Amino acid sequence: MDVIDLLKRHRSIRKFTNEPLEDELAESIISSGLSAATSSNLQGTTVIRVRNPETRAAIAELAGGQAYVETAAAFFVWCADLHRSAVACEMAGGEFHGGMTEHFIIATTDCAIAAQNAVVAAESVGLGICYIGGIRNDPAQMTELLQLPDQVVPLFGLCLGWPDQDPALKPRLPLSVTLKDEVYNEVDDRAGITAYDEQMREYYRERTGGKVDRTWSADMSSLLGKESRPHIRSYLDSQGMNQR
């Protein structure tokens, strides 16, 4: 499939067939992800494939009851990792200085870029994917389940499997809102958001058979109008990633 067309046809898949994902293909997909750009060659990503059914069931529950964590052919946890580079620093006779915000940003950015590379590789062979941000509902429990050392934090999960559904494409904000020339110009933003709200209202109506009447603006009001996982800051401190 043409790469641009493939990227524009991305959808989250939450229902999978029982067909397994062979280890060789899974490793090729992860290797493709880890071939992505990495700032200063930090390579601040560690990927953990979770196979144990009990562990996957526990993760599904703490992620808010997302059953596809259990039913996908494969499930991976993507971690921002400064532990490995700290070890390398000490091996070279240096002294690791933890808690730097810049290093944390590098590691989390590395991880996100690598994961998206892997997603494109997976979708190019017909696999479906679903990111699981819900693992951050209880990162301390995730840390215990996966035996993560200091300087490693779980950012998101990733389900991979062969799709057993064909959901509609979810519309995106128009480029008139998200692509700017030279400066952050908001002249057309409100009109663009209004038009997009109507597009999303129609998308939700069609997707749910008229049961949901919702807009993007309403979603943002719900998302940003309250605290979101306030425990994350103290968790980062506990993992040695107290920011400075």
In a domain, 44, yes or no: yes
CA of 45: how far to CAs of 71, 100, 174, in Å? 25, 17, 32
Assess whether 202 and 124 both reside in one domain: no
Assess whether 188 and 157 both reside in one domain: no
In a domain, 220, yes or no: no
Assess whether 202 and 163 both reside in one domain: no
- Name the strands in the sheet holding 45-49, side by side, starting at the edge strand that comes first in the sequence: 45-49, 74-81, 152-161, 128-132
Residue 37 in 3-state DSSP? coil
In a domain, 219, yes or no: no
| Element holding 79 (H helix, E strand) | strand 74-81
**Total count of domains within the chain:** 2
State the pLDDT at residue 28. Answer: 98
Closest of 196, 233, 203 to residue 217, by C-alpha: 196
Q: How many C-alpha atoms does 68 have within 13 Å on its Cβ side?
A: 21
Assess whether 53 and 149 both reside in one domain: yes
Instruction: Point out the residues of the chain with pLDDT beneath 50.
Output: none
Tell me the C-alpha distance between 231 and 104, whole Å. Answer: 17
Of the chain, the end-to-end C-alpha distance in Å amounts to 45
Domain that holds residue 62: 3-167+227-238
Assess whether 106 and 26 both reside in one domain: yes
pTM greater than 0.85: yes
State the pLDDT at residue 241. Answer: 86
Tell me the C-alpha distance between 110 and 79, whole Å. Answer: 10
Tell me the C-alpha distance between 156 and 84, whole Å. Answer: 19
Please, what is the angle between helix 101-124 and helix 23-34, to 10°? Answer: 140
In a domain, 132, yes or no: yes
State the pLDDT at residue 1. Answer: 61
In a domain, 158, yes or no: yes
Assess whether 197 and 97 both reside in one domain: no
CATH code for the domain of 102: 3.40.109.10
45-90 residue pLDDT tens: 999 999 999 999 999 999 999 999 999 999 999 999 999 999 999 9
